[in-house]
Structure 1
C-alpha cells in the first residue's frame, strides 16, 4: 500500500490540513517533526481511521478525534488516497459526532459515514464504487490490503518505536503476519498436503509389509514352497508367490472342470431314478384299480340290477305326477261346493219362513183398508189449514226475534255515540297539547348550526393552545435534561482539569529532572544561565521512557479536558437557546389561552344557552347535545302525537260510518216489525180458532 494524498478536516488539532505524499517520492526517508500536541501522531491516526475506522492509540475512540476548535456546523472528515496494485483508491470517512441541526440550532447525533471507490486521479472522477457503508468498507479494505487494523499498525506504521515489539514477538506471530503480507500461505498448504500424502502412503506400505509377512508364515504354503521362499530376496518373493498362485489357480480350474462333469452325470442319474419311481407308482395304482373293480363292480352285480329296476319304475311314475296333482285340486273344489250348497239350503228355509210371515201381515192390512181411506180424507182437509198455521207461527217467531235485535241495535247505537264522543274528546285534548313540529325542527336546526359554529371557531384555538402547551412541556423537559447533563459534564470537566493539571505537573517535574540530569558543572544552564549547580534540589529521578509516556498522557488528558470544555460550552449554548425557545413558547401559550377565553366569552354571551365560565370543549358539546336531544325528544313526541290524532280521526270516521249503518239497519228492522205486527193483529183470532180445530183433528188422527 502506497499513500498518495491525505486531507484532514477538524481532525484532532488539524483544522484543514492536507499532505501530498507524491512530493516525497524522491526522498526515500523523511521526518515528521513538531512540538508536542502539534498533530504528528494524528497523521497516522487519520490514515488508520480512514482505512479501518480506529486510531493508532489503544483506548482512544474515533469520536474523540473531533477537533475541539471545530464549529458546530462543520463536520470532522478524513479523505485518504492510496495505491494498491494498479488501482488508485479514495476513501472518505466521518466519525460519529454532534452537529448543528439543519432545521434549528440544536445539536443532533450524526452516525458514522464511510465510502470507498476507485478513481482515475486525486480529486478526479470515480471509476467504480466499492462500498458505501462503514461495515462494508472495513471488509473491502481487509481484502485489498490483506491486513487487519492491528497488523497494519504493527507492520506499516510502526509508530512510536513499536518496530522493536514486532522484532521481539514470537516466531509464530511473525510467521503468520509475514505469510499474510507476502502471500506464502499457498506454499505452506502445498507442503502440508505433501506431508499428508506421504504419511498415508507410508502407512499403507507398512500395512502391506505386515500382511505379506503374515501370509508368508501362514499354513497355506507347503514346506517345499516355504523352503523355496526362504532362499529368495524380498523383491523376488513377490514373483515366486505369483507363480505359486498361478499354479494353484490352474489346478483349481482343472478340478473345477472335473467337478462340473461329475455334477452333470449326477443330474442325469437323478432324472433316470425319478422316471423309475414314477413307473413304479403307475404299476401300484393299476393294482389298486383292479382290486376296487373286483370289490365294487363284480361282487355287487345283483344289488346293481335291483337298483336299475327301481329307477325304471320311478321314471314311469314321474309321467303321472301332473295328473295326480290336478285330481287333488278337483277334490278340494268339490268339497268347497258341497259346503256352499249346505249354507244356501239353510238360507232358503229361513227365507220361506219370512215370506209366510209377510203374507199373513198383508192379509191383515187388506182387512183394515176401509178405515185407512176414511182417515186419509180427513187428513187432506186438515192439510189445507196447515200453511196458515205455519205462517202465523213464523210471523210470531220473527216478531219474537226482531224485538231483541232492535234492542241490541239500539244499545250498539248508544255505545257508538259514546265512543264517538270519547274519541272527539281525546282529539281535542291532544290538539291542545300539540306543539308545532315545524317550529321545533327550526329550533333544532338553529341549535345544531350554533354548535357547529362554536366547534369550528373554538377547536383551532384549543388545538393551538394544546400544541403550545405541548411545546412548553417538551422544552421544559429538554431544559431539565440539559441542566442535568450540564451538572454531570461540569463534574467531568472539573475531574478532567484536575487530571490535566496533575499530569502536566508530573511532566514538568520529569522535564526538570531531565534538565538537571543533563547539567554539567561549569557550563551554563539552558534555563537560567547559571554555571553554579550546587543549590539544585532533586525531587524526582529522570527517566526518558517515563517522560515520553507522561507527555503522551498529558496530550491525551489535554484532549479530554478540551473535549469536556467543548461539551460544557455546547450544553450552555443549548441551555440558553432552549431557555429562549421555552420563554417564546410560554408567551405563545399565554396568548393562545387569552384568545381562546375571549372568543369563548364572546360566543357564550350571544347564545341563549347557559355555559360554564371556564372553557371546556367537552362540557360545551355536552350542553349543546343535551339541548339538541331535548328538542329531538320534543319533536319525536310531537310527531307521535300528530300520528295519534290522525289515527283517532280515522277511528272516529269509522265509528260514524258504523253508526250510520246501525241507524239504517234499525230503521229497516222497525219497519219490518211494524208490518209483521199488523198482519199478526188482523188474522190472529181466526188463525187461533183454526189452530184449535186442527189440533183436535190431529189428536183424532193419532188415535
Structure 2
C-alpha cells in the first residue's frame, strides 16, 4: 500500500480541510514529519489508519468520537479521504463518521465510500453496497493486512513499537495471534477441551445409569434372600457378578411359573361349571317375567277396541271423499279459466278503441304531406343546379391554394437569403479575428525553441552542482566519523598496550615468587634469583585482557570501515568536480544557474501554453475558412432559388384572377358551395322522409284497426263459452256429493284426508290387530312351557359364583406377576450387559481425549500449547529475518534468540526473547538492552515481521512504513546506522515516514513534512523537498 494523497477535514487539531499530497515527494521516498508536541504529527498516522480500518493507529486512539477536531464548526463534518496505490491500481476511500449537530438528538452525516480510480474517473461499482461492512471487507482484501498486522509492520505507533520485543510470552502470544490469526489453533484446543468434558460427562452419566439400573431392579422384583439382592445391597461394581445373580433369579421365577399355572387352571375350571348352572337358572326366571308382561299388554289392547272401531269408520268416509276430489278440482280449474278469459275480453275492447283513435291521426298526417308535393319538386331542382357548379369551383380552389403555397415559398426564400447573409458576415469577421490572434501567438512563441534547447543543459549543470554539494557533506561526515573512530581506536590500543605490560609484569612477579634458591630459573636457567620487584602490582585477569583485545579489534575494524567510506566519498566527490569542470562551470555559479533554470523552466511552461493555443487557433482558422466557403456557396444557391419562386408566383396569380370572374358572388369558395349542396340535400331528405313516413303510418293504422276488431269478437265468444261449461260442471259435482252420502260441502271437506294421514290410520288399525293376535298365541305357548316349573333364587348362586371368580383371578394375577418377574430378569440382563459395554468404551474414550487435550493445552514438559508451538515457528522466522538487519545496526554485536527457559508459576513458555552479545559471548534478557539498543532491535523485528508476512501471503506488498518512536534514544553512530537502514529500505521501493524531534535525522532526510500550529491553535502542514 502506497499513499498518494491524504485529505483530512475537522480531524484532530486540523480545523479545516488539509491536503497532504505525497506525490510532491517525487522520487524521494524517505521523509521526516516534524513539529512541536501536540501539533498533530501522530494525527496524520491516525487519519491514514482511520481511512483504511475505521479507527486510530494506537490502542489508546480507538474511539472515533475523540478524533473529531475541537476547533471545527458545527456544520462541518469530520472526514478523511485517502488516495492510495496497490498492485499498480489506484483506489480512493472516504470515511465520514458523522456527529450530533447542535439541536439534534442523533448522529447525521455518516458516510463511507470506496472507489477504483480509472483514468481520473471514480468507479464505485468496486463494492456492491457502499456500507461499512462491505467496504471494510473489500479494503482488507485489497491491502491484504488486518488492522493488527498493519500496526505492527506498516504503521508503528507510539507505545506499540517495542511490545513484541520486551513483552512476556503471554503478551507475545496475543500479538502473534492477532497478526498471524493463530486463534484457530487455540480453538482446536478449546474444542478438544469441550470434547473432554463431554466424554467425562458421558462416562459419569453411564455410571449413574448403572446405579439407576440397580434401583430399577430392586423396585421391579420382590425382596427376597438371594444373591441378586446381596449385590444390590452392596452396590456392586462387578457387572459380571450382577449378570450371574440375575440368571439365578430368572431360573427361580421360571420354576414358580409351572406351579402357579396348575393352580390357576383348577380354579378356572371350577368357576366355569358354576357359571353354566347360574346361566340356566337366570334364563328360567326371565321366561316367568316375560310371560307376566305379555298378559298385561294383552289386557291393555283389549281395552282399546273402541278407538280401533272409530278409526275404521274415519277411513271409510275419507275413501268416499277421495272419489269426489277430481270433480271439485275440475270446477276450480274452470273458474280460474273464466276469470282469465274475462280479463282478455276487457283488454281487447280497450285496445280496439285506442287503435281507432290512432288511425284517425295517421289519416290527417297523410293528407298534409300529400299537399307538399310542389315544395319537394322545387328543392330537387335547386340541388341539381348547385351540383353542376362543383367542377368549376374545385379547379378554382386548387389554383388558389397553389397561389398561397407559392407566396409562402417566396417569403421563406427571402428569409433564408437574409439569414444566410448575416451568418456569412459573422463568419468572415470571426475568421479575421482568428487570423489576427494567430499572428500574435506566432510573435510570442518565437523564442520557445531557444528555451527548449537551453533547458536540458541547465538541468544537468544544476544537478551536477547539487551532487557535488551532497558528496562534500558526505566527505565531511565521513572525515568526522574517521576522526572519532581513529581517536577511539588509538585510545583503546594504548590502554591495551599498558594492560599487556601490566599483565606480563604480574605474570613475572608470580613466577619470581615461586622460584626457590638453588633451583634453575625456567627462563634463564640461573640458580641464583635476585628480587627486582618489591612493590605490589594490580593483578590483571587474562579474560579482562582478551575482552579488551576483542574490543580493540572491533575498533580497528570500525576505523578501517570508516576510512574506506571516506575514500569512497572522496572518489565520488572528485568525479563530480571533474564533471562540473568538464561542463565549464564552478560551484560559485550555483545560485546563478538555479535562477537561470527557474527562469527558463517558467518561460518554457508559459510558452508551451501559448504554443498549444497557437496549434488550437490554427486548427480553428482552417475550420473557419471551410465554413466561410460553404456559406458563400449556399448564398448563391439561395438567391437563384428565390428568383425561380418569384417567377412561378406571378404565373399562378394570372390564372387565379381569370377563374375568379366565373364564380357567383354569393359563393366565393368551394367550401361554401359544398355547404350549400349539403344544406339543400338535408332539406330534400327531410321532405321525402316525412312523405314516406306518413304513407307507412297510414297503412299500419289500417291493419291494426282491422286486427283489433277481430280480436275483440273472438275474446267475447270465448268468455261466453267458458261460462256455460262452469255451470254444467258445478251441477254435476253437487249431485255426486249427495250420492256419496255428504249432505253439504262442509261435511265433504271435513271427511277429506291426505295420503299420509290415510297411511297412518290404516297402519294403526293393522298394527292393533297384529299385536292382539300375536300376544294371544305367545301367552298360550308360555303357559304350556312353564307348567310344573318354579323360579330360582339367583342371589345365592351369584354369591357362590363371585367367590369362585375371585379365587381364579387371584391365581391368574399371581401367575402373571411371576411371568413378569421372569421377563424383567431377562430384560435387566440385556440392560446390564449394554451398560457394562458402554462404560468400558466411554472410559477408554475419555482417557484418550483427556491425554490429547493435556498434550495440546501445554501440560507437557516444555509447557507448550499447540497454538504456541505454531507461534514459535513464526517467531523463529521473524527473528531470523530481524537478525540480518540487527547485525548491521549493532555492528555485529547483537543477535536475537528465542528463549527456551520456563516461565515462573508454571506459565506457558517458548515465546521469550533473549539477545546474544558477541562482545561478552553471553546470552541475556532483551530487557537489559539500553534504550537505543531496544529501538534497533524493535525496528529489526518490525522489518523481519514484514518480510515474514510477505513470504506467507504472496499477494501482500508492503510499499510503506511509518515510524512514530525511538530515534531520540540513539547516539550519533546508532542514528547513522538507523538512517542507513531506512535509506536501504526506501531504495528498495518503500516509502518511509518518520516522526522525530532529532535535528540530525531531519537534516539527513531529503524531505520534511512540517506540522505547524497557528496562533488560533489549530494546525497546518507543508512539504519541504530538499
TM-score (norm 1): 0.36
Choose between structure 1 and 2 for higher RCO, CA contacts under 8 A separated by at least 6 residues.
Answer: 2
Larger Rg belongs to: 1
